[in-house]
Amino acid sequence: MTTMKDVAKRAGVSVTTVSHVINETRFVSDELQRRVFDAMEELHYRPNILARSLRRGETRTIGLIVPDNSNPFFAEVARTVEDIGFENGYSVILCNTDGDLEKEKVYIDVLIAKQVDGAVFIAAGSRQEHLSELTAQGLPVVVVDRDIPQTLADVVLVNNEQGGYEATRHLIELGHQRIGCIAGPSELTPSAARIHGYRRALEENDLPYREELIISGDFRYDGGETTMEKLLSLSAPPTAVFVCNDIMAIGALRAIKRAQMQVPADLSIIGFDNIPITSATSPALTTVAQPITELGVRSMNLLLSRIRNTRPSGDYERIILETELTIRDSCAEPC
């Protein structure tokens, strides 16, 4: 493999000069720089990133931990994180935990071993220990989407409770009184907050909270389908359903169709996230839009400022972004 020594010989300069050119650690004349770069090109030389990282004390890499990168919500967040990382000279290591705490622990260890410069952390659960393993290494971390009781990192969330409230209030304003809810995993803060909003809308309109109308799903397509089947099999099924994420709502549409029912004529349905496909479902899904791109932008801006030490350590931010009810074609007055 070509070494710095080979480059120095080809350029007719010292190895030290080659090092200063590569690492920009001292002024080198344009003429000598050109000779070094020409030699690197001719010899197909690539600097040893690991050696440079050790010298600089940085790897120019960022870890991104997500629970399910096949879900377009997380894919959209990852896209924004990668865009901003690339613009700022950082590579992003994507870690998909599949919502599994054991796998999350493996990836925490991987990111520490690879000495990433910082991490965006969307937790598989809501426990602090994995987060504290990252911060104990002095690693800047931004907690996104799933809240964790902690004082170790900046946090960027959305107002899930208000989103659940507005979705349910919309159905009530259409005249629905038996409103079901397909929840996400109960241990995850976003789903729990959305259900709080659902309950608040019912209580404000003197509608009873019926346990049989709330079923927990898994935030996945099949889970939406099977939980909707359960709601439709009730002796008194709901006339409308608030689903705590779009992927489950799309799965629920399949169960409704298999039951030979029409949306919204026979049943109204609202999702949560506003992933791109929701404008193309049949009918187009009414949903609670999360500001997904802004989630990624605010998270990365916070993380980069921590990595660059342009923020005093300790006074962590807690940013709560607002959702927006996006009305399309999947809701109507009860038949």
Return the number of the residue (11 or 95) whose C-beta is nearest ligand RIB: 95
In whole angstroms, the minimum distance from the beta carbon of 103 to ligand RIB comes to 16
DSSP state of 176: -
Contact residue for ligand RIB among 247, 252, 285, 303 (CB under 6 A): 247
Per CB under 6 A, which of residues 45..104 are in contact with ligand RIB? 71, 73
In whole angstroms, the minimum distance from the beta carbon of 145 to ligand RIB comes to 5
In whole angstroms, the minimum distance from the beta carbon of 93 to ligand RIB comes to 20
Sorted by sequence, the CB contacts under 8 Å of residue 267 that are 6+ apart come out as 237, 238, 239, 240, 241, 256, 261
Vertex 112 angle, CA 108 and 117, to 5° = 110
In sequence order, what are the beta bridge partners of 326? Answer: 287
Strands (E), 224-333: 240-243, 268-273, 286-289, 318-321, 324-326
In whole angstroms, the minimum distance from the beta carbon of 252 to ligand RIB comes to 13
Contact residue for ligand RIB among 181, 213, 272, 287 (CB under 6 A): 272
Q: How far apart are CA 19 and CA 4, in angstroms?
A: 8
Contact residue for ligand RIB among 245, 268, 286, 287 (CB under 6 A): 245
Q: Check if the beta carbon of residue 160 is closer than 8 Å to that of residue 199.
A: no
Instruction: Verify binding: residue 218, ligand RIB, rule CB under 6 A.
Output: no
Strands 286-289 and 324-326: antiparallel
In whole angstroms, the minimum distance from the beta carbon of 74 to ligand RIB comes to 7
How many chain residues bind ligand RIB (CB under 6 A)?
11
Residue 1: what residue type? M
Per CB under 6 A, which of residues 114..173 are in contact with ligand RIB? 145-146
Return the number of the residue (154 or 273) whose C-beta is nearest ligand RIB: 273
Q: How far apart are CA 94 and CA 105, in angstroms?
A: 14
Please give the residue ranges that form the binding site for ligand RIB (CB under 6 A): 71, 73, 145-146, 188, 190, 219, 245, 247, 272-273
